[in-house]
Amino acid sequence: MKIALINENSQAAKNEMIAKALTDVVTPMGHEVFNYGMYGAEDKAPLTYVQNGILAAILLNSGAADYVITGCGTGEGAMLACNSFPGVLCGHVVDPSDAYMFAQINDGNAIALPFAKGFGWGAELNLTYIFEKLFQGESGQGYPKDRVIPEQRNKKILDEVKKVTHVDMITILKNIDQELLKGAIAGEKFGEFFYANCKDDEIKAFIKSIL
């Protein structure tokens, strides 16, 4: 699995710590981490939580990433931004039980974490435990076990609803504020990671046309 990490400006200083916790957990599982930044508070390509959502949607809809780890001060803004787009099902995760139940019940492809609120002593341990539970086994298996069938049915219903309530990604990319979009993909390693992993030629061509 290709897992993308995206940090916005207010919490960019914590990127290295978050990336290490994520990599330490998922690499032994056979997953690969792509750190799209921001890489620090002085990063020349700043991201807002809205741009986190744009970047997450590009990566997931193009196949450049299979999962996105993002967040902001509270995690709420990043979650809302991600869920504004098709093909993105983002949960707000505060602790390991949130991570496990989101994975097993909702079977999403992104989480938004609070990197400021309640982020004190043991924060790196909480991140480690969250990532362990999030990627533990196969997702979408249901919890508790007597709820497996209705939960899996509801996930399929939600996926179909999102197809109706959202336009396609190319239409969004063409109509969204272009300066906002350019900022979302201005990261130092975006081109290196995105072009190597993108599976959607139409999205790739459009991104190339605006960079």
Could you give the CA distance from residue 21 to residue 42 in angstroms, rounded to a whole number? 22
- In this structure, the dihedral spanned by the alpha carbons of residues 96, 100, 101 and 103, taken in order and rounded to 10 degrees, is 130
Rg (CA), the chain: 16
Closest CA to 15 of 104, 115, 99: 115
Could you give the CA distance from residue 43 to residue 77 in angstroms, rounded to a whole number? 21
In this structure, are strands 90-92 and 2-5 parallel, antiparallel, or unpaired? unpaired
pLDDT of residue 211: 87
Domain 2-210 in this protein, CATH class: alpha beta
Look up residue 98 and give its DSSP letter: H
Closest CA to 102 of 90, 119, 85, 115: 90
Domain ranges of the chain: 2-210
pLDDT of residue 29: 97
pLDDT by residue, tens only, the chain of 211 residues: 999 999 999 999 999 999 999 999 999 999 999 999 999 999 999 999 999 999 999 999 999 999 999 999 999 999 999 999 999 999 999 999 999 999 999 999 999 999 999 999 999 999 999 999 999 999 999 999 899 999 999 999 999 999 999 999 999 999 999 999 999 999 999 999 999 999 999 999 999 999 8
